[in-house]
Amino acid sequence: MRRWRGRVCLALALALLAPAALAERVFDVGTGDAAFDDVQAAVDAAVAGDEAATIRIAAGIWRGVVDVPPGAPALRLVGAGTQHTRIVQNHYASRIDPRTGQAFGTYGSATLFVRADDFHAEHLTIANDAGPVGQAVALVVDGTRASFDDVHLLGHQDTLYLRNAGTRAWFRDCRIEGTVDYVFGAATALFERCALHSIGDGYVTAPSTPADQAHGFVFDDCTLTAAPDVSRVYLGRPWRPHGATRFENCRIDAPVPAEGWHDWGKPDNQATARFAEHGNTGPGSALDGRVAWLRDTAAAPDTATLMQDWRPFE
């Protein structure tokens, strides 16, 4: 009887351990005996396994487009630090894609495509170094529940494309650089303790939030700065009529004009755009002179409401 009980206990223990072991698939890029030579090869291998996986990317400049395809399992990209691990490409909207003979377009210019759900990245940089050549995306997010912790997103125009309505993305302790519309799209996204740095005159956000979607971009406890030669940084303009952006408890040191926001040259947007500010500080935060169509200045919704109880960092 004791021997039988021991076998049962052992079987139960192994059964409990098995899921954890299966979840611990790790792929290395650049270091280790079985390391991959580029990030996309590691992503392809992880996707083929059809189970959650972590991809550890060694220090280095990893040049090339990375695509996490639709239907991929939950993937984690973990770098060696934002100053050490850099995923970089230089495509831009008007550049001809040699595979098709057609221009890449804004969407197709991205360095990293996240087209699957439940993606996470941390401790790395994603950059588009095409320069001031028009739209040139560093990161495009198509999937939902995408989270980023200590990630730098570097570009000029259209750095971060949060494309789809109804999806959610969460950025914590990240840095985003650009010039014109460098955070844009239709998703609901929360930015916590992020640094937004304008390297040219332009607009920080260009939301295309649908009318029936309660929230767009929410920046909480972030900082806004600009390069020394930058003279005018608008907080946002509505890419679509009901675009929504909120700055909450942020430090605004960038040279934001008194009006703060722009209607994209379409006066009708003033009746529909949902722009809000609350509790901000710094020389660019003064509400005197703000556009008359600025929405409420009350506190933002709580995180549980905004992210629908999704908690990627817990």
Q: Is residue 18 part of a domain?
A: no
Q: Is residue 13 part of a domain?
A: no
Task: For residue 74, give the DSSP letter.
Answer: P
Q: How confident is the model at residue 314 (pLDDT cuts 50, 70, 90)?
A: confident
Q: What is the pLDDT of residue 159?
A: 98
Q: Is residue 14 part of a domain?
A: no
Q: Is residue 229 part of a domain?
A: yes
Q: Is residue 186 part of a domain?
A: yes
253-307 confidence digits (pLDDT tens): 999 999 999 999 999 999 999 999 999 999 999 999 999 999 877 777 788 788 9
181 catalytic residue (yes or no): yes
What is the residue range of 70's domain? 24-307
290-300 confidence digits (pLDDT tens): 999 998 777 77
Q: Which helix (H) or strand (E) holds 202?
A: strand 195-207
Q: Is residue 85 part of a domain?
A: yes
Q: Is residue 1 part of a domain?
A: no
Q: What percent of the chain has pLDDT over 90?
A: 85
HSE (CB half, 13 Å, CA atoms) of 205? 32
Q: How far is CA 106 from CA 86, 113, 163, in A?
A: 21, 12, 11
Of the residues 117, 142, 181, 263, only one is catalytic, namely 181
112-151 confidence digits (pLDDT tens): 999 999 999 999 999 999 999 999 999 999 999 999 999 9
Q: Is residue 116 part of a domain?
A: yes
Residue 12 has pLDDT above 60, yes or no: no
Domain count, the chain: 1
CATH number assigned to the domain comprising residue 96: 2.160.20.10
What pTM does this model have? 0.91
> What DSSP assignment string belongs to 132-172?
SSSB--SEEE-SSSEEEEEEEEE-SBS-EEE--TT-EEEEE
Q: List strand residue ranges (DSSP E) for 1-158, in order.
A: 25-29, 53-57, 60-63, 66-68, 75-78, 85-89, 112-114, 119-128, 139-141, 146-154
88-114 confidence digits (pLDDT tens): 999 999 999 999 999 999 999 999 999
Q: What is the pLDDT of residue 299?
A: 75
